[in-house]
Amino acid sequence: MLKKLILLLVMSILLVFNASAEDESAFEEFDNALGGFYGDIGGTGLSWQHWSGKLGVQTSAGLWYLDNIYTSYDESWSEDDVDVEMFNYNIGVEIMYMVYEDSYSDWFDGCLYVFGGAKHIGKIVDTYSYKLEIVEPDDGGDPYNTYPTTGSTGPRYVPAFAVGFGFGFEPVFFDHFSFPVEFGIGSEWEFDSWLPVDAGLKFQGGLRYRY
């Protein structure tokens, strides 16, 4: 009887350890993900992600046509030039390193990671110029300023790039539904300028399906 109890105990322990060894997290069992992502560093648009152990890679890409036919640029509020975007595309890449990962229950996994990324942006831009004109009403009223346009440069291609780094948290529900959230510091430059057109704290996030 004692031998049977000992044998049963040993078999139970072996079964528990075997089940634990086969129990994989969502990031190990479903190491790829597809969905959408928004990011000034990692790119905005359709997104693909892959984890290989603690290392991960992500790419996002998108394009937009900006319809401005209902906006008039005949006048402005100052003499400053106005840049009007007509088309925009971007493609970004992030490299990630998983700092911590855990399965909190049968339906919830999560990981904390750091990342570094870069993004290429291309824009079609038309620039409108304006001049000051002082109008004196015929009825003797007070004169006032207007800023009519003097014309535009015409559409031109403006390439730019952005870089940044930070940390992120990726919760996964029911092994498949992922909601990555990232916080970082990033800057964007146009190719013809050494000064950044944008710099500061960045928030990024998305929705993906792990498979």
Residue 12 has pLDDT above 80, yes or no: no
The answer to whether residue 112 is domain-embedded is yes
Domain that residue 196 falls in: 30-67+85-126+156-206
Residue 95 has pLDDT above 80, yes or no: yes
Number of domains in the chain: 1
The answer to whether residue 6 is domain-embedded is no
Provide the pLDDT for residue 172. 96
For 45, how many CA atoms within 13 A lie in the half-sphere containing its CB? 16
Q: How far apart are CA 73 and CA 84, in angstroms?
A: 9
The answer to whether residue 135 is domain-embedded is no
Residues 87, 66 contacting (CB under 8 angstroms): yes
Residue 15: pLDDT band by 50, 70, 90 thresholds? very low
Q: How far apart are CA 33 and CA 23, in angstroms?
A: 20
Q: What is the CATH number of the domain that holds 100?
A: 2.40.160
Enumerate residues 6+ apart whose C-beta is below 8 A from 45. 36, 37, 60, 61, 62, 63, 90
Average pLDDT of the chain is 86
